[in-house]
Amino acid sequence: MSLISLIITAFGLSMDAFAVSLTNGMTVKTVKNRYALKTGFFFGLFQALMPLIGWVAGVSFREKMSNIGPWIAFIILAVIGSKMIYEARKCDCERIEIKDTPRDTKSLLILAIATSIDALVVGVSFALLDVSIISSSLIIGLITFCVCTAGVHFGKKIGCICGNRAEILGGCILILIGIKILLEHLLGN
């Protein structure tokens, strides 16, 4: 996987967390840098850890599935991307009505885990594609950290205008990356 593809994948993976960060920013009366950095840290950390966990699981069956790895990666990315698009198309009212701002560590931890499950699955596909996992995880975590830190600030400024659009964009990006992986495999053979 090229660096450009990895960066695009990282942005795609970060869109769930970005949407949550936007929502968090919308619910905070005064956004402080400390809260934005804390949010970015939690989301970035789990977006970096989950591909590692998925990669470890995927390595155990990589050799058995080397010919169908690109197909699995395509299916995984297409399903995750489609799920993101579907969830973003739900009524915005359901997503934005947050009674209590999730500022505490426990709430951020739960949100970070929930939004990084797709990164776990992508980690499995990285093992099947023999991607360098350490650098990939660091790039994913760093990009997510930056996107989510900015997302809290943007959420405060722009309100609920683009929360679901970010998730739709992220879903489309993941589907396109899956198609690219599959086409590279098919055209390479």
Q: Which tens digits make up the pLDDT trace of 25-81?
A: 776 667 788 889 999 999 999 999 999 998 888 877 665 655 676 777 678 778 877
Does this model's pTM top 0.75? My answer is no
Q: Write out the two tokens for 67.
A: 């010919």
CB 137 within 8 A of CB 52: yes
Give the number of C-alpha atoms closer than 13 A to the C-alpha of residue 22, restricted to the C-beta side. Answer: 21
